[in-house]
Chains A and B, each alone.
Chain A
Amino acid sequence: MKRGERITNSILEGGLKLSALLAIFLIFLIFIFIFKEALPIFTNPGVRSEVDLRDLFASSVWQPVSDHPRFSLLPLFLGTLKLSLIAILFATPLALGAAIFTAEFAPRALKETIKPGIEILAGIPSVVMGAFALLTLASVLQGIFGWTMRLNAVNAGIALGLAIVPTIYSVADDALRAVPGSFREAAYALGSRRNQAIFRVIIPVALPGIFAGFMLGLGRAIGETMIVLLASGNAAILSLDPALSTRSFSATIAAELGEVVFGSTHYAVLFFIGALLFVITFIINLIANLVVERFKVRLAGVA
């Protein structure tokens, strides 16, 4: 290798390494920042006199701006849970059905239409999806079910579900396509009907990949903010009723962080919520990754 080439190579390699390290470093900094701002809840006596850790999880009212502020995370937790659950319940059958159809049943031309179509759905900005839910979907749902609260958990959950369909779909579709043709051949050669080959061999083999798609979708549903902010009504009600207005962790941060007094108890609690979201999505992504790894090992055993 000539000297010039060597220098170009090392510059290129160094540059790439730097950008990779920088990305990790920035994420690490964000992590540090969030936890630093949430720290007063544990350490600052002034903050601790206003809100105890027990209050965060035990009491039932989220009323951060009042003479006697009350910081219960329970209604927000329940709201996040309700919304994610509805979103997942709505999105999973839709996305899996579509993935199984395009991977196994659809003729080529139809497949080439449906796949990009669903992936375009992923490109819709969430504020547009939120506006759609706020203006159109909410009225339609209210017309059907006659709920008193026009903006509620079901409305936001369905919009959220629409937003995560592409995530689940594309991972599940990839997983189904990655199933080696030799399994399919073996299944047919043993006298399987088409649905037996698909449901007894191909889907079980792809299941870890499908599960990973589900987890990624769940992670996005928990973190998604704008749709919830616009479509859920944002009332922090401690209830499991999906027809009531609902507020999530992420929407709370988005709605209140702009107005909060810097360094106040409220401020620290909002960052505590942020840290909590960080941890939850981190765990979900971790599980998804572990499952995908297992999936790879499982298939590599055959090759």
Chain B
Amino acid sequence: MEDKGINPWVSTEYSQPEYVRMIENIHALNENLIVRVEDFSLFYGDKPALKRINLSIKKNRVTAIIGPSGCGKSTLLRAFNRMNDLIPNVRIEGRILIDGEDICKKDTDLVALRRKVGMVFQKPNPFPMSIYENVAFGLKIAGEKDRARLDQLVEKSLRQAALWDEAGDILDRSALTLSGGQQQRLCLARALVIEPEIILMDEPASALDPISTAKLEALIYSLKKDYTIVIVTHNMQQAARVADYTAFLLLGELVEYDETRKIFTNPTDKRTEDYITGRFG
């Protein structure tokens, strides 16, 4: 709004819907909502995978998406950084607003979006390069060449990902020599280095042992003061441990979305209760 140098309250240059959206954005800003999903549906071919989802995600909070296999939780997560674009025959309806900007438009700058919304995958997938090159990758593709600055940022993100103590001395070694848990933290460092606002995690601990999982969860907790985290998990205890808010998805529908405490102690919907208590899933 400032860019245009016009007072939106008195200007007549805005159409009615634009005007309404601006007010919504101001509202969202006040509530610290960084992501807003509005009537979002996604289809694989003709098959609906997500049906008219509505939810908002708060800044600097951890939001978990839970639900049984095939409920669309990963699909929803991948909608936030448009990773579903890599799959052919995907069609979407509705909007997803991130910082008030609709990211579902055709002309959305995907590079900018993905630098703002980072991602950690289910299986650790470091590139077969050195540890250093893995972390520096996101900076290098953005054109950063200053060696000193690269060194400094690589160290900073490795520290943020709690990997510096283990990997600081072996930066030139292949990333594949690290253990699974270390690899996953390396992938996190690789995502952190470009300073995203939101970090998406797609079952980040499913390939890890309990100790590595505990480390990763502690890390998630410490990262939320700087980042907004959305985590998909099939592990309900994990959601209960790390998340401030939890969304329960079933067959592509958002059944319930509330504070984690409420979801796990006093769910409103019968289906949520059945899932939480292990009656299905």
The listed residue with most A CB atoms (<10 A of its CB), out of B81, B123, B141, B190, is B141
A-B contact count (CB 8 A): 70
- Interface bits A252-270 vs B (CB < 8 Å: 1, else 0): 0000000000000000000
Which among A185, A193, A200, A298 is the interface contact of B125 at CB below 8 angstroms?
A185
- Chain A residues near B176 (CB, 8 Å)? 298, 301-302
Give the residues from 246 to 303 in chain A that come closer than 8 angstroms, CB to CB, to chain B. 298-299, 301-302
The reply on B227 being an interface residue by CB < 8 A is no
The reply on B121 being an interface residue by CB < 8 A is yes
The reply on B20 being an interface residue by CB < 8 A is no
- Please state if A182 and B114 are interface contacts (CB–CB under 8 Å): no
Min C-beta distance of A177 to chain B, whole Å? 15
**Alpha-carbon distance A184/B121, docked complex (angstroms):** 12
- Chain A residues near B126 (CB, 8 Å)? 186, 302
- Please state if B121 and A185 are interface contacts (CB–CB under 8 Å): yes
- Please state if A191 and B142 are interface contacts (CB–CB under 8 Å): yes
The reply on B100 being an interface residue by CB < 8 A is no
Which among B83, B128, B138 is the interface contact of A301 at CB below 8 angstroms?
B128
Tell me the count of chain B residues lying within 8 A, CB to CB, of chain A.
Answer: 28
Which among B128, B129, B138, B174 is the interface contact of A190 at CB below 8 angstroms?
B138
- Please state if B121 and A190 are interface contacts (CB–CB under 8 Å): no
The listed residue with most A CB atoms (<10 A of its CB), out of B112, B125, B129, B191, is B125
- Please state if A196 and B127 are interface contacts (CB–CB under 8 Å): no
- Chain B residues near A184 (CB, 8 Å)? 86
The reply on A205 being an interface residue by CB < 8 A is yes
- Please state if A185 and B83 are interface contacts (CB–CB under 8 Å): yes
- Interface bits B165-195 vs A (CB < 8 Å: 1, else 0): 0000000001010000000000100110010
Q: Known: A185-B83, A186-B187. Is A191-B115 also a contact (CB below 8 A)? A: yes
Q: Known: A184-B86, A190-B138. Is A299-B128 also a contact (CB below 8 A)? A: yes
The reply on A183 being an interface residue by CB < 8 A is yes
The reply on A188 being an interface residue by CB < 8 A is yes
Closest to B123 in A: A182
21 contacts between A and B (CB under 8 A): A182-B125, A183-B125, A184-B86, A185-B83, A186-B127, A187-B137, A188-B83, A189-B83, A189-B191, A190-B141, A190-B194, A191-B111, A191-B115, A191-B142, A191-B194, A192-B111, A193-B111, A201-B127, A205-B128, A301-B128, A302-B176
**Which residues of A are at the interface with B, using a C-beta cutoff of 8 A?**
180, 182-193, 196, 200-201, 204-205, 298-299, 301-302
**Which residues of B are at the interface with A, using a C-beta cutoff of 8 A?**
81, 83, 86, 110-112, 114-115, 118-119, 121, 123, 125-129, 137-138, 140-142, 174, 176, 187, 190-191, 194
